[in-house]
Structure formats: C-alpha cells, structure tokens
Amino acid sequence: MGRAMLLQRWLGPTLLSAGHRSAGGRNQTPFTPKLKHLSLFRSPSSRHGMAEEAKKLAGYAAVDNHVQNNQVVGVGSGSTIVYAVDRLAERVRQEKLNIVCVPTSFQARQLILQHGLTLSDLDRHPELDVAIDGADEVDAALTLIKGGGGCLTQEKIVAGCAKHFIVIADFRKDSSVLGQQWKKGVPIEVIPMAYVPVSRTIAKRFGGEAVLRMAVSKAGPVVTDNSNFILDWKFEHTHNWKEVNIAIKMIPGVVETGLFVGMAERVYFGMEDGNVGVRDPPVN
C-alpha cells in the first residue's frame, strides 16, 4: 500500500501548505494556519486536548508511512514521540514486525522498554533506516528548533545516522520563520565551565541573549543526559540559520545547537480539525 493510501486510509483529506504536499507528491491548495485565532474562544483545557489529539495524529501518520518490517528505528524524545511509540508497539504486535529501536534519551529508552520493543544503540546499529522525532518549531524551509526537553545532542546524532529523518508536531509548532511561535530561544548545549564565555560570545556576535536554563524541581541549572548545561539563545531577528549554526558550534565549549538545518525529510503536523498536514522541503 502506497504512502498516500496509508495516510488517507484513516486520516481523510490532507491539509497542505506552500511546501505542504500530499503524501503522493501532488501540490494542493496552499495552507496557512488560519485556525489559530479560533483558539481565543476555546478554554485552555479544550485547546490542550486538541493539541494532544494532534500529536497523536502526527505520530501515527509517521509510523504508518515510514516504518516497515526489519528496520532499525531511531526514537526521539518529548511529548509527541509518546504517541509514535504507542503506534509502533501496536504495529509490532499486530503485524509481527521485526523492529529494533535506538533511543535519543533516557526518556526514549524507557518508552522503548515499557512497550516491550527491542532496544539497541549506535554501537550495535550505527546506521538507522529511519528516525522519528518531534520539534519545538518548524519553519517553511523545514529548519527546526529542537532541545526544549534538553536532549538536542543525542537527537541530532541519531537523526544524522538515519537514512530518513521524519518529524512529527502539532499545529502550534508550525511557523513561517523561526521565532514566530517558539519564544524560548534556540537551545545550546555547553560544557559547564564554558557557559559564561559562550553566552557572552553569542550575545556579542549574534545579538539577543543566551540564558542558562534553570531546573524546575531541583536547585541550580538543568543538567543534560551528557552532564552538560543548556543555554537558551533568545535571538532578536531571523538569521541565515545554516551559517549561524556552524558559527556557534565553532565557539569553544559548545557541544551542539538545537538548530536542525537541512536534516528533516518530511514533517507531519496534526491539525486542529483532525487532519494531518504534510510538509516536504522546498524545491530549490
């Protein structure tokens, strides 16, 4: 069964944007997130419920369209990936699939084990067939901000090892340009001793402010799975993200950035009306 048929099988019509295409590749009516203003008339609990359902739709679509038997699958981190793993486990049980999973974080590892899926790592499986992960924000060119959950380095490593990197998100993460929806900045993982000089260098060279992320349920800063700190760079304007990503990574003490440039092959957006939008990279 083809991707388009799989998507239509349970999702119905697919919403598309200028860069949104159907799974079969045909250009459709341009989509813009016009439903956003309707949320003004909904309670916060109602909007939260819609966002959770949207995450589920996106996660299910990605697994149904990109996971096949005898594959090694990279499992991302965050709230949306929970639904993708639910669907993956369901398909493994129902279809008797042979799937090996490589996690991007402690959270992803626990999800894999809780669902009884086969756990592996990059030592044993350094090349993945597909990686599925969420995003904090996606722009029109499929440039991503990731790392709101603090797992950006492992997420980028796993995505870079995959033949296909597929992103899942709800309607709140869809932006024309980075910073339009996500206001918390670009996460940057740093060696602890370097967080002050790195923060100063970023602000001086690129503007804005790079703030040390503080923990909520513990005293002191957030500490990553790699025992590092995270700076959240709140930029002031749109940049050439490819150039900025490279420049920041060259600063001594920087481990990785939450800018994922030219990595995503496709993004599935769960929408407010129960449909799924599909965005592919723009054709240059």
Specify the higher pLDDT residue, 115 or 283.
Answer: 115
- If you search the block for the tokens 């749109």, which residue do you land on? 238
User: pLDDT, tens digit, for every residue of 136-181?
Assistant: 999 999 999 999 999 999 999 999 999 999 999 999 999 999 999 9
Give pTM, 2 decimals.
Answer: 0.84
Active site positions, annotated? 155
Q: What is the pLDDT of residue 190?
A: 98
Backbone phi, psi, residue 253, to 5°: 105, -15
Q: Cα(122)–Cα(16) distance, rounded to whole angstroms?
A: 35
Q: Is the pLDDT of residue 29 over 60?
A: no
- What sections of the chain are H helices per DSSP? 3-11, 44-66, 81-95, 106-114, 152-160, 195-206, 241-249
pLDDT in tens, 72-95: 999 999 999 999 999 999 999 999
Mean pLDDT of 103-108: 97
Nearest Cα to 134, choosing from 177, 74, 185, 176?
A: 74
Say whether pLDDT at 45 is over 80.
no
257 DSSP β-pair partners: 188
Which positions ≥6 away from 235 have C-beta within 8 Å?
179, 185, 186, 206, 207, 208
pLDDT digits (tens, 9 = 90+) for 202-215: 999 999 999 999 99
Q: Indicate if the pLDDT at residue 19 is higher than 90.
A: no
| Nearest residue to 42 via CA among 272, 270, 269 | 272
| pLDDT attached to residue 279 | 96
Burial class (CB in 10 A: 0-12, 13-18, 19+), 152: buried
Evaluate whether 156 touches 260 at the Cβ level (below 8 Å): yes
